[in-house]
A = this chain, B = another copy of it.
């Protein structure tokens, strides 16, 4: 039997694998240095500390049972305390909702907040996981470009002045994926003001906030308005396989998400929730651990940026990589990164062409480079290979 529903076909098309992604499957080859991934480094994840926490957690039979749909209470409490500090107001546990990674928060929020045709404003280039969810929800998507200070609020204000009425504005405000940039303090404040004056939700999607290299990102947008729904997760600082993300949102949003979560998968894992709660509560250990991840990624980022600038000079402009996992680089000489990819793969290096993240602009001269899973000599060699690919003479 075939699956022929037009509604499903449209939805699946929104989620469909792209040609670029199919090409990137080749990057698993051992002879290719892949800067195309988007994964944190498993070697930096705290395996022994997690094993210790698992052993401790498993002294309590309750961690094996079903738990509450909004999450294991101990984890909601520690997240509430942490987010209270980050946001600068007392966040009650009722406004903390644990999700199966923050991707689940995005998908449940899309169901709660968006009717088909609702306007969602995203950044360009965009975080693809969010774009897929909004497309699958049937939203109308309009993009606002990034500059070095993050989302261009002048472009957003132009849209609002032209009568556009977004339901949601989605932003990866700190250490953007793929753009590498961070929304400036003043823009955060202004975006919160616009949310209140125009009655839209801001989804502040913040998986990388803790991964700053020199200094933390500015206070979150959520510090400036209660119309901001904040998402984060432990995937980038502890481990993705804990599948612990969360949403900080007003009570009535959390209660709607709760009903959807019950239908979607009943509840999360009390076991992995308790492991996360244990690690997040162990603040002295956590500070040391996160500092070591920052130091490792920071060194790799600097190596990559230096190699790019030394090797390509003015032929490539790239972000400073002040945090997160990605450098965004633009060829200034007209090199088409999608066309270059097969040559780059043949030369033994992979990246993601800018086109894979494009909404309105085409980003044909851009590429995303991930520095998290390669050591410094490998990153330098990757850029040497990339130079060879662009100049095969």
Q: Which residues of A does B touch, CB under 8 Å?
A: 1-3, 5, 7-8, 11-12, 14-17, 39-40, 42-43, 45, 47-48, 50-51, 54-55, 58-59, 61-67, 99-101, 103-104, 107, 111-113, 115-116, 129, 132-133, 136, 199, 201, 227, 235, 239-243, 252-253, 256, 259-260, 262-266, 268-272
Task: List 25 interface pairs A-B (beta carbons < 8 Å), by A numbering.
Answer: A7-B116, A8-B256, A11-B111, A11-B260, A12-B260, A39-B66, A40-B65, A42-B65, A43-B61, A45-B64, A51-B58, A54-B54, A54-B58, A55-B55, A99-B265, A103-B264, A103-B265, A107-B264, A107-B265, A129-B266, A239-B271, A241-B270, A241-B272, A243-B268, A271-B272
* In the complex, residue of chain B having the shortest beta-carbon distance to the beta carbon of A273: B241
* In the complex, residue of chain B having the shortest beta-carbon distance to the beta carbon of A253: B3
Known interface pairs A264-B264, A271-B241; A1-B227 also in contact (CB < 8 Å): yes
Known interface pairs A50-B64, A65-B39, A65-B42; A263-B115 also in contact (CB < 8 Å): no
Chain B residues within an 8 Å CB radius of A259: 12, 15-17
Q: Is the CB of B201 within 8 A of A265?
A: no
* In the complex, residue of chain B having the shortest beta-carbon distance to the beta carbon of A67: B241
Given A7-B116, A47-B59, A54-B58, 4 additional A-B pairs, CB 8 A? A3-B112, A51-B55, A107-B263, A241-B269
Q: How many copies does the complex hold?
A: 2
Chain B residues within an 8 Å CB radius of A199: 1
The 7 closest A-B pairs by CB, nearest first: A64-B239, A42-B61, A104-B265, A15-B259, A100-B265, A51-B58, A54-B54
Q: Is the CB of B12 within 8 A of A115?
A: no
Q: Is the CB of B264 within 8 A of A242?
A: no
Chain B residues within an 8 Å CB radius of A243: 265, 268-269
Among A15, A63, A64, A101, which residue has the most Cβ atoms of chain B within 10 A? A64
Q: Is the CB of B265 within 8 A of A7?
A: no
How far is it, in angstroms, between the C-alpha of A15 and the C-alpha of B255 when the chains are bound?
11
Q: Is the CB of B62 within 8 A of A42?
A: yes
How far is it, in angstroms, between the C-alpha of A61 and the C-alpha of B8 when the chains are bound?
37
Q: Is the CB of B241 within 8 A of A115?
A: no
Q: Is the CB of A63 within 8 A of B265?
A: no
How far is it, in angstroms, between the C-alpha of A23 and the C-alpha of B99 when the chains are bound?
27
Q: Is the CB of A3 within 8 A of B264?
A: no
How far is it, in angstroms, between the C-alpha of A112 and the C-alpha of B12 when the chains are bound?
9
How far is it, in angstroms, between the C-alpha of A58 and the C-alpha of B53 when the chains are bound?
11
Chain B residues within an 8 Å CB radius of A43: 61
* In the complex, residue of chain B having the shortest beta-carbon distance to the beta carbon of A252: B3
Q: Is the CB of A61 within 8 A of B47?
A: yes
Known interface pairs A243-B268, A269-B242; A58-B47 also in contact (CB < 8 Å): yes
Chain B residues within an 8 Å CB radius of A260: 11-12, 15
Chain B residues within an 8 Å CB radius of A2: 252
Chain B residues within an 8 Å CB radius of A264: 103-104, 107, 264
Chain B residues within an 8 Å CB radius of A115: 5, 7-8
How far is it, in angstroms, between the C-alpha of A293 and the C-alpha of B171 when the chains are bound?
49
